[in-house]
Amino acid sequence: MNQSSPVPDASSYEAKTAYDIHEILKILPHRYPLLLIDRVLELKRKERIVAIKNVTINEPFFVGHFPGLPIMPGVLIVEAIAQAGGALLLTEVADRSEKVMVFTGIERAKFRRPVGPGDQLRLEVELKGWREVPGMTAAKMQGYAFVEGKKVAEAIVSCQLIDSSRGRAANDGSARTE
């Protein structure tokens, strides 16, 4: 991903720097129980995003991870990093309601401290590369998760933008013709 073209402009999208949950729901396709960001505190277009996830005892994963010692799974912390990055990137995509950002890679994931009920994850994600060729858009981002100013996790995530209808034909039993 060394050669990258600039992130496309989304001139029709209002240049905002913070988003509440209602605005996040308009950007990301995720829903409960897998929507893992609650608020965007900062957004610097085409560069960086800071978001938060409030971790509560009501999270469905705490039932089994682990009874008597609730710890947020590390893979969900990485997913939260990716969703924050997705929110950053999808604000640049005019037809985002027809697109989904999917993982294509996770590198250098490290988990430093457990995250539990009552914690607030601060997710800081920086865009490292954006590549666009006809029919394919891909990005690489460096993300960090903090609780009370202490780093709890980090990872480099790669993702690709695909048409949201791409996987539906295979799942609903209908054949797709082009």
User: Active site includes 30?
Assistant: no
Residue for token pair 């994963």: 61
- Active-site pick, 65, 113, 128, 131: 65
User: Count of residues for the chain?
Assistant: 178
Q: Over the Cα atoms of the chain, what is R_g?
A: 17
Q: Which two tokens stand for residue 166?
A: 């791409």
CA distance 137 to 58: 36
Asked if 65 and 71 count as a contact pair (C-beta separation under 8 A), the reply is yes
Q: Which 3 state secondary structure label does DSSP give 154? A: strand
Residues that are catalytic: 65
